[in-house]
Amino acid sequence: MIRLRIQNIVDSTGAELLRGDAARTAVGVSTDTRSLAKGAFFVALSGPNFDGNRFAAAAQRAGAGGLLLRGPASELGSTLAELPAVLPVLAHADPRRALSDLASWHRSQLDVPVIGITGSCGKTTTKNILFELLSTVRNTVSSPNSFNNDIGVPHTLFLADQDTEVLVVEMGTNHPGEIAALCRTARPTAGIITNIGASHLEGLLSVEGVAREKGELSASLPRDGFCVLNADCPWTPTLRASTAARVITFSVGGDGDLDARDPWFHSGGTTFRLEGREVTFPLLGRHNVQNLLAALAACRGLGIELDEVLPAVSRLSGGHRRMERHDVDGVTLFDDTYNANPDSAKASVRVLAGLHGFERRILVLGDMLELGEFAAELHHAVGVDAATNGIDELVLVGDLCRATAAGALEGGLAQEHIHHATGVAEAASFVRDTWRAGDVVLVKGSRAVGLERLVSELLEGR
């Protein structure tokens, strides 16, 4: 756990110390009074619907070692009156900016490899895999869950201390400039870009815009670092040209530095050949082979031999709601509801198509968000993909999925096998009434659509 002198916080953020001893030390950093550990420094973040300053007294009662409030000081009189005079209190015009500045200062105190991970899809799974592998050989700290924005990345950095040997930082974006800002905070020494695809097009406008934004990670890397790139992605030459770092590539049946051969999918997961070895791991799909290869390439970049980490591959989990398997009344149910974009939806279609030994393949899809003017076209393409890859029943939730239905019909799936539900409850009821023993069901959708509730309803009916 990191220890921060109040004076360090003042110096790194430019905050004004209103009261308390600057020599006092806080232990850790928190932005949430519900999970604040005793002695932690509390940063009062505000949003459209809440004012972080209102939680100052709650932070003090929880044992905070100091507070940073949104100033100016002249407006904090009533808040300060509720707090003991000995508690260090700082004021800053922009606590969110101060959080990033403090994290950047803390990063400067660490002499440790920092691996940044971004990409249109697969970044969280790749991060989870890399953390699981590295943890078997190095003291590794990684982003919890999907802490990948200008609040989550600082929290990840604050988890690292002088005992940390590798720090893994996930970086997300939905508008230009975000990756560059996160790189200024985290200063990665190495990077992984899983792929470039149609994601967050509302803010990034085009796939070229996505590549430009994700490429800020590769462009930020030092000459003595390394950058892991997907040789199967058409944007890799552009990304390679953007970096001064050493490039390590991966591929599936291609010409990557790490190349997986002959992948096949089965009830135990996926098996493939890698540099003369047979590798089996419990995750399904070509896209997860790519995620694993990206993590293995990063291990190699750190000087770790594959044989040191491959024993851990058979125990990989992948993460919550990422192709999680459940067995319900003789039906195999895959929960892939963490999030969705067109590329990850097509990957799920191919996973389902590649599963054998089942009576019927039932695919449940929800709207994919943040696609801007391309939404209808991209939803339509996923429908065509589902129809041409042997999906037997297609269940759709959301208005945008009307284009998916049209695509499936165009792709050759009969109308009686395309079912459009008005909401999650109706979709769950239909699936429950339709499935039978021996079927396999895969549920995929953006978090905002709430298809995880559909999975919960199906599981509760066991």
With a cut of 60, say whether residue 462 has pLDDT above it. Answer: no
CATH architecture of the domain with range 3-94: 3-Layer(aba) Sandwich (3.40)
* Mean pLDDT score, 313-325: 86
pLDDT at 295 > cutoff 60: yes
**Range 282-303 average pLDDT:** 97
Residues 6+ apart with CB under 8 A from 25: 3, 4, 5, 6, 65
Instruction: Assign 3-class secondary structure to 289-357.
Output: HHHHHHHHHHHHHCCCCHHHHHHHHHHCCCCCCCCEEEEECCEEEEEECCCCCHHHHHHHHHHHHCCCC
Asked whether the predicted pLDDT for residue 88 surpasses 60, the reply is yes
Q: Please, what sign has the CA dihedral across residues 235, 241, 243, 248?
A: positive
Given this model, what pLDDT does residue 409 score?
97
Domain range annotation of the chain: 3-94, 110-315, 324-460
* pLDDT at residue 205, as a whole number: 87
CATH 3.90.190.20 holds for 324-460: yes
In this predicted structure, what is the pLDDT of residue 32?
96
Cβ-contact 107, 290 below 8 angstroms: no
Residue (of 248, 178, 246) closest to 209 by Cα position: 178
Token output for 207: 């796939």
Helix, coil or strand: residue 116: strand
Q: CA-to-CA distance for 419 and 402, rounded, in angstroms? A: 10
pTM comes to 0.89
**163-196 pLDDT, tens per residue?**
999 999 999 998 999 999 999 999 999 999 999 9
pLDDT score, position 461: 66
Per-residue pLDDT of 135-156, as tens digits, reads: 999 999 998 888 999 999 999 9
Distances (CA, A) of 269 to 262, 279, 291, 299, 300: 14, 11, 14, 22, 24
| 339 pLDDT more than 90 | no
> pLDDT grade, residue 220 (50/70/90)?
very high
Question: How far apart are alpha carbons 26 and 5 in whole angstroms?
Answer: 6
Q: 117-141: b or e for each residue (b if 16 or more CB lie within 10 Å)?
A: bbbbbbbbbbbbbbbbbbbebbebb
Interhelix angle 123-134/286-301, rounded to 10 degrees, is 50
- For the cut 80, the answer to whether the pLDDT of residue 429 exceeds it is yes
Residues 6 or more apart from 135 whose CB is under 8 A from it? none
Tokens standing for residue 53: 């300053």
Helix (H, G, I), strand (E, B) or coil at 45: coil
CATH fold group of domain 110-315: UDP-N-acetylmuramoyl-L-alanine:D-glutamate ligase (3.40.1190)
